Amino acid sequence: MQPQIILLREGTEATQGKDQLISNINACQAVVEAVRTTLGPRGMDKLIVDANGNATISNDGATIMKKLDVVHPAAKTLVDIARSQDAEVGDGTTSVVILAGEFLKNAKGLVEEGVHPRLLVKAYRKSLQLALDRINELAVTVSNDPENRRDILEKCAATALSSKLIHQQKGFFAKMAVDAVMNLDDLLPLDMIGIKKVNGGALEDSFLVPGVAFQKTFSYAGFEMQPKTYKSPKIAMLNIELELKAERDNAEIRISQVSEYQKIVDAEWTILYNKLEKISKSGAKIVFSKLPIGDVATQYFADRDMFCAGRVVDADLKRVMKACGGAVVSTVADLTPETLGQCEIFEEKQIGGERYNFMTGCTNAKTATIILRGGAQQFLDETERSLHDAIMIVRRAMKNDKVLAGGGAIEMELSKTLREVSRNITGKEQFLIDAYARSFEIIPRQLCDNAGFDATNVINKLRQKHAQGEIWYGVDIVREDIEDNYKACVWEPAVMKINALSAATEAACLIMSIDETIKSPQSSNNDMSANNPYK
């Protein structure tokens, strides 16, 4: 009899084989069910409440996946692909999760019938390449004519916004998203677009600032006396505290007589006034600091017609630095003309119940800020997420000038193409590619289900049209029918579909290639110390 060898710690759980693979697929299906109904213009929203009682209302796939506390190790893969799609493209986060789930669902039946997972993975990767080749073949190159280009970008942004909470104002916000991206330089840096939310007013009261804007920070007495408008001002950006501190907060000092204490106080005032004098002499009219600017400094600047703001948020200060030039300095000795920024106009204006600082005509880099208005804070947060998706889509469409028709049109065409390919293949691979091809129909089917349409009827009409060579026919949400979505201007950047397909297929292949899960028990501190070789 062979002696039993134990390699794993007592209490370790290990499950393997076909049952484990099917269990992983079922877990992924449960995650897909959570986001399935959010797809498309008629998608429903989700209300997610965290452990602290904070509520989030959203139909953005990436946001929902982040907020869901997914603990199953295989299902976490779907969370990762939603995040990667959001980071890479910005939109299509729900589609990528639904596609991955459908790929796995169609593979599940084949696995139960005895097909080896490796054959499925091989067939899925081959199918992916065929699908990507077809997308590149079908993608329409955008015109370089500036007017047509802008029109196409607005249509791509409107398509991204059509499934969001603000779909009724998609024309208004699509134009704003395109304006924001076109305000940037050739590299299109996302961090140069700021989005600020101000409660109150209507959504249509939102507007775009062609420069930097941020909320007025806490200010001391004397602030009211400072001018609120400047033309071509120099801007000093500091990381210096400009206020007096009580000595007991900073150091312990032993003195023998009162006059010595007075010298210490005088020295502190002298240090502060020397700093303020150097700032004033530098020629700066606007002073921003990450650290507090106290009442003495505020009054000092007011007497010299200078504007100051302390405790400026780091991200806002960096954007001011990039847009207006100059540098954030940590000592007044470094205040030279090279370290000062400049803009054409500085203003402080009232927006709703808040005061905002505006800098326009920035000389160093192009930037933009969107001021969002609206009712509830949760509504504003969702509007910000929706606008982020539209901005990302416009950026991608500017860098990759190929578009496709949306509304399930491209998915139906890919499904038809792969079915035709599978009919010319003998052996098991025919069924495997056909399973991949059938998965694409989940997108138009889910669009119909979420809108309350008869999905079977619509899908049959789409199959007929695509069989006749009508490649751009997709779901028409408005008329409960099908339509040529390219002519209807329901457009999406090709890069979005390419990224979504690649991510969904790789996630499905990754999950199908797992045949064993080993879960180690949590080690107690005693176990860790007992097994520590360095103890």
Q: So which residues are the catalytic ones?
A: 60, 93-94, 389
Please answer whether residues 42 and 476 qualify as being in contact, where contact means their C-beta atoms are separated by less than 8 angstroms. Answer: no
CA dist 357 → 309, 316, 371 (Å):
10, 11, 12
Q: E strand or H helix at 97, and its extent?
A: helix 93-112
Kindly give the residue spans of alpha helices, DSSP state H, lying in 184-313. Answer: 247-250, 258-281, 295-303
Which residues contact residue 160 at a Cβ distance below 8 angstroms, ignoring those fewer than 6 apart? 90, 91, 389, 390, 393, 492
Q: Which residues pair with 54 in a beta bridge?
A: none
Supply the DSSP symbol for 242: B
Which residues contact residue 213 at a Cβ distance below 8 angstroms, ignoring those fewer than 6 apart? 194, 196, 356, 357, 358, 359, 369, 371
Q: Which residues pair with 372 in a beta bridge?
A: 197
Q: Is 245 helix (H, G, I), strand (E, B) or coil?
A: coil
DSSP letters spanning 362-387? -SSS--EEEEEEESSHHHHHHHHHHH
Q: Is 424 helix (H, G, I), strand (E, B) or coil?
A: coil
Helix axes 117-138, 409-423, angle to 10 degrees: 120
Residue 114 sits at φ, ψ, to 5 deg, of 105, 5
Q: Which amino acid is at 67?
A: K
Q: Which amino acid is at 507?
A: A
Which residues contact residue 54 at a Cβ distance below 8 angstroms, ignoring those fewer than 6 apart? none
CA dist 63 → 69, 198, 385, 388 (Å):
12, 22, 8, 12
Q: How far apart are CA 368 and CA 413, in angstroms?
A: 39
